Amino acid sequence: MDQLPIFMNLHDKDCLVVGGGAVAARKADLMRAAGARVTAVAPAITGETRRMVADGRLAWREAEFDDPMVVGNRLVIAATDEPAVNRAVFAACERRGIPVNVADEPELCSFILPGIVDRSPVTIALSTGGRSPVLARLMRARLETLIPSGFGRLADLLGRYRQAAKDRIHGLDTRKRFWEDVIDGPIGNLVLSGKDREAEDKLAGLLADREAPSEAGEVYLIGAGPGDPDLLTFRALRLLQKADVVVYDRLVAPAIVDLARREAERIYVGKRAGNHSCSQEDISSLLRDLAADGKRVARLKGGDPFIFGRGGEEIEVLAGAGLPFQVVPGITAASGCAAYAGIPLTHRDHAQSVRFVTGHRRGDGLDLDWQNLAEGRDTLVFYMSLGSARQICDQLIAHGMPRSRKAALIERGTTDNQRVYTGTLTSLPNKITAAESPSLLVIGEVTGLHESLGWFRGRGAATSAFPDSEPCLAKGAA
Q: Looking at the annotation, which residues are catalytic?
A: 249, 271
Report the distance separating Cα 128 and Cα 217, nearest Å: 40
376 labelled ligand-binding: no
- Exposed/middle/buried for residue 199 (C-beta within 10 Å: 0-12, 13-18, 19+): buried
Residue 407 CB partners (closer than 8 Å, separation 6+): 393, 422, 423, 424, 425, 428, 441, 442, 443, 444, 447
66 labelled ligand-binding: no
Report the distance separating Cα 237 and Cα 241, nearest Å: 6
Question: For 73, phi and psi rounded to 5 degrees?
Answer: -100, 140
Cis peptide before 121 (omega within 30 of 0): yes
Of 287, 230, 283, 286, nearest to 259 (Cα)?
Answer: 230
59 labelled ligand-binding: no
Report the distance separating Cα 314 and Cα 305, nearest Å: 10
Question: For 203, phi and psi rounded to 5 degrees?
Answer: -65, -45
Q: Do β-strands 406-411 and 419-424 pair in parallel, antiparallel, or remain unpaired?
A: antiparallel
Report the distance separating Cα 466 and Cα 249, nearest Å: 10
253 labelled ligand-binding: no
Q: Is the torsion defined by CA of 113, 119, 120, 122 positive or negative?
A: negative
Cis peptide before 429 (omega within 30 of 0): no
307 labelled ligand-binding: yes
First to last CA, the chain: 29
92 labelled ligand-binding: no
CA angle at 287 for the pair 283 and 289, rounded to the nearest 5°:
115
311 labelled ligand-binding: no
Tell which phi-psi region holds residue 58, choosing left (phi > 0), alpha (psi between -120 and 50) or beta.
beta
22 labelled ligand-binding: yes
Report the distance separating Cα 473 and Cα 33, nearest Å: 53
Report the distance separating Cα 234 and Cα 154, nearest Å: 19
Query: Which residues are bridge partners to 268 per DSSP?
Result: 248
302 labelled ligand-binding: yes
CA distances to 78, 113, 128, 134, 417 from 105, rounded to whole Å, are 10, 12, 14, 15, 42
Query: Would you list which residues are annotated within the binding site for S-adenosyl-L-methionine?
Result: 226, 302-304, 307, 332-333, 384, 413
Query: Would you list which residues are annotated within the binding site?
Result: 22-23, 43-44, 226, 302-304, 307, 332-333, 384, 413
Query: Would you list which residues are annotated within the binding site for NAD(+)?
Result: 22-23, 43-44
